[in-house]
């Protein structure tokens, strides 16, 4: 069996984080699937999906570490061809990853006590995001 739903998020700022754990868990529960996997995928190339203990300090740190590895003021070929000053947004989202797959057991995503699923905005302007949640199993 497969069930698929969307989560919509409006963002305002770069490195804005959204805890989507409860929304993913609700979709899994509604699916009726007891054992399987849930895949969470961001549609777009400048936002990422991940899992972390999503407390204020780590939410800040993930953006800071991405800026360290891929600085916003770096010189990127994309800036020359696209003229939109968001090459770092694409590269940071690529490093983080556009999707996450989590096992499902007893009708729930299997996550650790301090583990949440989050969306991270990497783009330089407000966006309307679509996240596809696909639950597969039996």
pLDDT (tens digit per residue) in 59-85: 999 999 999 999 999 989 887 787 788
The CATH number of the domain holding residue 14 is 2.60.120.460
Which residues does 7 contact at the CB level (< 8 Å), separation at least 6? Answer: 20, 23, 24, 27, 130, 131, 133
Give the pLDDT mean for 106-122. 97
- pLDDT tens digits along 6-53: 999 999 999 999 999 999 999 999 999 999 999 999 999 999 999 999
Instruction: Report how many domains make up the chain.
Output: 1
Dump pLDDT digits (tens) for 99-111.
Answer: 999 999 999 999 9
What is the span of the domain harbouring residue 133? 2-137
Structure letter (DSSP) for residue 70: S
Q: Report pTM.
A: 0.95
Q: Is 86 helix (H, G, I), strand (E, B) or coil?
A: coil
């Amino acid at each position: 069996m497969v069930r698929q739903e969307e989560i919509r998020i409006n963002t305002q700022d770069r490195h804005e984080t959204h805890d989507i754990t409860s929304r993913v868990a609700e979709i899994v529960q509604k699916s009726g699937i007891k054992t399987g996997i849930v895949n969470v995928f961001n549609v777009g190339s400048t936002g990422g999906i991940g899992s972390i203990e999503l407390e204020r300090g780590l939410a800040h740190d993930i953006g800071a570490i991405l800026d360290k590895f891929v600085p916003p003021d770096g010189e990127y070929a994309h800036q020359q061809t696209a003229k939109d000053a968001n090459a770092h947004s694409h590269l940071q989202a690529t490093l983080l990853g556009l999707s996450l797959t989590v096992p499902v057991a007893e009708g729930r995503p299997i996550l650790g006590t301090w583990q949440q699923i989050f969306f991270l905005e990497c783009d330089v302007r407000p966006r309307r995001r679509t996240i596809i949640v696909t639950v597969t199993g039996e």
